[in-house]
Amino acid sequence: MWGRHHGTVPIGVVDVGSNTVRVLVADHGQTYLSEREMLRLGADIESHGHIPPEKLDRVASVVSRYVADADAAGATALEVLIASPGRQAVNGEELRELLEEVSGRPTRILTAVEEAHLAFIGALSVTSVPARRPVAVVDVGGGSAQVIVGTQHDGPQWTRSIDIGSQRLTSRMLSTDPPGANAIGAARAEVEHYLANWDAPPVRATLAVGGSARALKRIVGARIGVDELDHLLELLAHTPAVEIAERHGIGQERARTLAAGAVILSGLQHHLGTPLKVVRGGLRDGALLTLAAEQAAAAA
């Protein structure tokens, strides 16, 4: 269906996150397959502490289909990565075992540090940054958010993960549509609680990856500073998700969690002290680069 160009060796990754399940097959910057489905595992975990049986079945069905699609796209290697749902759900290991069984591929639950480091690798792979300039990469997912500080030359030097993401914060404090200013204020205080004792080293730039950042870019552009974040929080506090979705070409499920994503990014931006630059790379790109390096080392 997607074809395979002569001389290429595409590899793939399936990323099981709190908002979406995605598959990416690529080689040297060329994408052969990119699909996603919104499953909102983070909402189930926030409500029940576990992933219900019917949702486990649905995730397994999606992952099985994505593996078949990746094979059809010519993927020579593929792994399944489970992000925060594997760490936060009491049946995270059951999820991993099920997905490994249906996929027939190596399947692992990423630690928060592993997730952060892959996002860092992916973000810097698509960005021109001086090799020794300290930068931060922020990745707000559905169930957690990662911050990584380092340089292109030396790699990650400081990592922090906070156990709150756009889906979990929406379920916990921003479920009304639109949420209103008071709920936004309370959510900001909740995020600040998670950012207590912040000790990140100073940075010269901050790169933002992930679905929330990409969606906010559609509204205010790729550079998101204090003024842009204040505007976004005012807009999202008082505008229904369906209107945001229609006006800015954002999926309605993403629009529903966008206020929470903006709240978390605002807290991170405040502590890092530099505007956010939204870039397209991220965890999946970092995972592909890492897997490609492993494949090359094994073949040497």
pLDDT in tens, 86-137: 999 999 999 999 999 999 999 999 999 999 999 999 999 989 889 999 999 9
* Tens-level pLDDT at each residue, the chain (300 residues): 333 444 468 999 999 999 899 999 999 889 999 999 999 999 899 999 999 999 999 999 999 999 999 999 999 999 999 999 999 999 999 999 999 999 999 999 999 999 999 999 999 998 988 999 999 999 999 999 999 999 999 999 999 999 999 999 999 999 999 999 999 999 999 999 999 999 999 999 999 999 999 999 999 999 999 999 999 999 999 999 999 999 999 999 999 999 999 999 999 999 999 999 999 889 999 999 999 998 888 887
Q: What is the pLDDT of residues 245-256, one digit of tens each?
A: 999 999 999 999
Contacts of 268 (CB under 8 A, 6+ apart): 138, 140, 145, 147, 195, 206
Backbone angles phi, psi at 215, to 5 degrees: -70, -40
Do 142 and 42 meet the contact criterion of CB atoms below 8 Å apart?
Answer: yes
| Same structural domain, 269 and 124 | yes
- Say if 5 falls within a structural domain: no
| Same structural domain, 148 and 255 | yes
| Same structural domain, 124 and 212 | yes
- Say if 300 falls within a structural domain: no
- Say if 181 falls within a structural domain: yes
Give the angle subtended at the CA of 228 by the CAs of 225 and 232, to the nearest 5°.
135
Do 219 and 212 meet the contact criterion of CB atoms below 8 Å apart?
Answer: no
Do 185 and 196 meet the contact criterion of CB atoms below 8 Å apart?
Answer: no
Per-position b or e across 17-28, b if 16+ CB within 10 A of its CB:
bbbbbbbbbbbe
| Same structural domain, 104 and 136 | no
Contacts of 119 (CB under 8 A, 6+ apart): 137, 139, 146, 148, 209, 210, 282, 283, 286
Residue 98: CB atoms within 10 Å: 18
Do 186 and 173 meet the contact criterion of CB atoms below 8 Å apart?
Answer: yes
Alpha helices in the chain (DSSP H): 41-48, 53-72, 84-88, 92-103, 112-125, 166-173, 181-194, 211-220, 226-238, 241-248, 252-256, 258-272, 283-299
| Same structural domain, 201 and 125 | yes
For residue 49, give the DSSP letter. Answer: S
| Same structural domain, 56 and 122 | no
| Same structural domain, 18 and 118 | no
Q: What is the pLDDT of residue 3?
A: 38
Q: What is the pLDDT of residue 28?
A: 83
- Say if 125 falls within a structural domain: yes
The closest of 284, 159, 156, 149 to 205, measured between CA atoms, is 149
| Same structural domain, 177 and 82 | no
| Same structural domain, 85 and 194 | no
Q: What is the pLDDT of residue 247?
A: 96
Question: Dihedral, CA atoms, 53, 58, 61, 67, nearest 10 degrees?
Answer: -110
224: β partners: 276
The closest of 134, 152, 233 to 191, measured between CA atoms, is 233
What's the CATH code of the domain at 53? 3.30.420.40
d(CA 186, CA 192): 10
Give the angle subtended at the CA of 30 by the CAs of 26 and 33, to the nearest 5°.
45
Range of the domain at 211: 113-278
Do 86 and 95 meet the contact criterion of CB atoms below 8 Å apart?
Answer: yes
Q: Is the peptide bond before 202 cis (omega within 30 degrees of 0)?
A: no
Classify residue 152 by burial, with Cβ atoms within 10 Å: 0-12, 13-18, 19+: middle
| Same structural domain, 262 and 141 | yes
| Same structural domain, 168 and 269 | yes
155: β partners: 151
Domains of the chain: total: 2
- Say if 254 falls within a structural domain: yes
207: β partners: 137, 277
